[in-house]
Amino acid sequence: MKNCEYQQIDPQALPTPTPTPPPHHGNDTEKKKEPRRPRRKWEVFPGKNRFYCDGRIIVARQSGVLPLTLGLILVTSGLFFIFDCPFLVKHLTSCIPVIGGVLFVFVLITLLQTSFTDPGILPRATPDEAADIEKQIDNTGNTSYRPAASHQGVLINQQVVKLKYCFTCKMFRPPRTSHCSLCDNCVERFDHHCPWVGNCVGKRNYRFFYTFIVSLSFLTAFIFGCVTTHLALIWSILGLSGFHTYLVASNLTTNEDVSTQSCFYDSVC
């Protein structure tokens, strides 16, 4: 046994307990307890998501390559605005940075909306609801029974549609709903889990995802066209400088060279 050291305390040195006054039942001093804020569904139900701003922003626990996506867009657009735009504004038009800036801002907004918007997560069943549903599935009364495929037929638009039971969310999934293994949630009208945006793509954020990829395509084509134009103008300037280098080396002027070439072709003809 381990040795324990005890400290001897003088009973007279202990503080004398003071009696607590009886509670006053007057209406003036009675304080009402403030009602507790009801917990929201995202605070109660499990899942592999993180919430910010009182549940207004939702992100997947595995953000995927979202930082890489943002980095590629920022670096590519930044190089374009720094090196290509001044040259094109000087030689073509000042509308180029305006168009590029509008497309760039639109791409960033739609990307963040896709990444931080609820894709259509369906709340899980409560323990009582789950127990009742699984008892209906298992006719033997064994709640631990997990059949391979449990379905429930419902009538939608005069057609019988089979709803599959999700043993993780404890509910029958609506049509076009699937369970995302990365987020561990059932997503309504589930399209796919996109690692480039770091979130599922479903019913509530598919429009943002579509506008993101379309606007990104326009931005990419716009930058590619501007860069190609820039390179073409550079090559024309390089060709012009090379031509005048030839004239200097030949001790000729442009007019003399043109006249010489015209006389040569006339003699040949």
State the catalytic residues. 194
Any alpha helices (H) in the chain, and if so which ranges? 41-44, 66-79, 85-91, 95-116, 127-137, 206-250, 254-268
Taking CA atoms, 134 is separated from 14, 125, 154, 258, in Å, by: 61, 11, 18, 92
Burial class (CB in 10 A: 0-12, 13-18, 19+), 118: buried
Q: Which two tokens stand for residue 113?
A: 């909306």
> Using alpha carbons only, what angle is made at residue 46 by residues 205 and 142, rounded to the nearest 5 degrees?
120
Rounded CA separation 81/83 (Å): 6
Comparing CA positions, the residue from 247, 222, 168, 197 lying closest to residue 59 is 197
Chain Cα centroid distance, residue 79: 24
Comparing CA positions, the residue from 50, 187, 190, 57 lying closest to residue 123 is 187
Residue 147, amino acid: P
